[in-house]
Structure 1
Amino acid sequence: MTAKKRLSKSDWLQAGFAALVQDGPVALKAEPLARRLNTTKGSFYWHFADVPAYHGALLDVWEAEALSPIARILDEEPNSGAKLRRLGQEITDYASDVTAQENPERAIRAWAQGDESVAGRVEKVDGLRLNLLAELLRDNGITNPDWARVILGSTIGIKSLPANASDADGPMGSLVDLVLALR
């Protein structure tokens, strides 16, 4: 008889992201998650005080992953125009990956439509993204704050359109180039 592997907090969070993407927020409860992992609810409560604490932990991981490329981009790119173009593409790539269990941005956004606490977290992440986009636009001489919203809105939805297989990065790059040409 083989010993059953003890589940970690990370195992529960990965299962939660998969459940959220696959079945929506109704699947983010101890019982359905325990069934998904073929274990007991006791294991869930070993790692999380309750379901709201679990939801908070999921949102913490999502927020960290959604914002993690920003510091790298700011360090790696040589000027604000390149930073703006790359940031737009990174957000687009992250926000549009609907198959990765580790990246449930669309599912989180759908969840936010019916849950104020989730909506608050999405607003926080979007606010940080908007502020950075606006700052990079200002560095390029573009002061209209609506352009930051246009770019962010495009990053969220552009990849849900039918893709041109020859250039998946083209539309976001073209949008940023167009905005930069307005100065």
Structure 2
Amino acid sequence: MVNESSRLSARDWARAALKAIADGGLAAVAVEPLARTLGVTKGSFYAHYRNRDELITAALEEWGRSHGTEGLTEFAAITDPAERLRELLTTVVRAVQPLAPSVHLSLLGDRNDARVRNAVHQVNQARLELLARTYRELGLPPSRAESRARVAYAAILGLSQLAQTDPDAPRSAVLAEEAAALFLTLG
């Protein structure tokens, strides 16, 4: 018989915690409900973590990696900056689904927690740096590239927020085309 703690990894627990965070912030991360969701006992949890705080820290690190620099690797590898921006905007906007929970937006409710501030800062910085680099490569001066990156990123976050509350939001494909057209215009 396979030991249940060997079936689930620490990363499995961290990912389950991220789903809970998306649905209800840090307060939603509780060992017993997560164990039930994962179909295991609390013993599996304690094989990987000493306590809930360790799990939250691991979950935030996982989110930081997967949505920060590592999550942007495929886009950063696109050599044509216009194509990179188009792909990035299209992928991100198409991922926005009506009423879908968001880790990023849920974490804003817990922004006074230093771990949350650090994770959100890490993700924001990675995304802003890639956008600013792309706008510089498209010919904008550095200060303008940085401000354009911030506006584009704010629009993406705004679309995510609207999608969480508006079941009648336009289809993401339409929004992706509009975002690409708007943010590829450099004039």
Same fold by TM-score greater than 0.5: yes
Alignment pair present for 1:139 and 2:151: no
Letter in 2 for 1:119: R
Q: Out of 52, 56, 72, which is 2:74 matched to?
A: 72
**Structure 1 residues 14 and 128 mapped into 2: Cα distance closer, same or farther (>3 Å)?**
closer
Partner residue, 1:107: 106
Alignment pair present for 1:42 and 2:40: no
**Structure 1 residues 93 and 132 mapped into 2: Cα distance closer, same or farther (>3 Å)?**
same
Q: For 2:173 and 2:125, how far apart are their aligned partners in 1?
A: 32
Deviation at 1:38, TM superposition (A): 5.3
**Structure 1 residues 51 and 93 mapped into 2: Cα distance closer, same or farther (>3 Å)?**
farther
Partner residue, 1:163: 170
Fraction of identical pairs, as percent: 24
What's the C-alpha RMSD, in Å, of the aligned pairs? Answer: 2.8
Alignment pair present for 1:60 and 2:58: no
| Aligned residues of 2:31 and 2:42 also touching (Cα < 8 A) | yes
Listed as ranges, the gaps of 5+ residues in structure 1 are none
Partner residue, 2:150: 149
Partner residue, 2:166: none
Alignment pair present for 1:82 and 2:76: no
Q: For 1:31 and 1:20, how far apart are their aligned partners in 2?
A: 15
Alignment pair present for 1:172 and 2:175: no
TM score, norm. by length of structure 2: 0.75
Deviation at 1:71, TM superposition (A): 1.9
**Structure 1 residues 136 and 115 mapped into 2: Cα distance closer, same or farther (>3 Å)?**
same
What are the Cα deviations for residues 11-66 of structure 1, in whole angstroms up to 9, with x where unaligned?
A: 32233223223333212132443344454433212111222221121112212221
Q: For 1:50 and 1:173, how far apart are their aligned partners in 2?
A: 44
Deviation at 1:89, TM superposition (A): 3.0
Task: State the number of aligned residues.
Answer: 174
Q: For 2:22 and 2:123, how far apart are their aligned partners in 1?
A: 19
What are the Cα deviations for residues 149-172 of structure 1, in whole angstroms up to 9, with x where unaligned?
A: 001111112242521466241221
TM score, norm. by length of structure 1: 0.77
Deviation at 1:93, TM superposition (A): 4.3
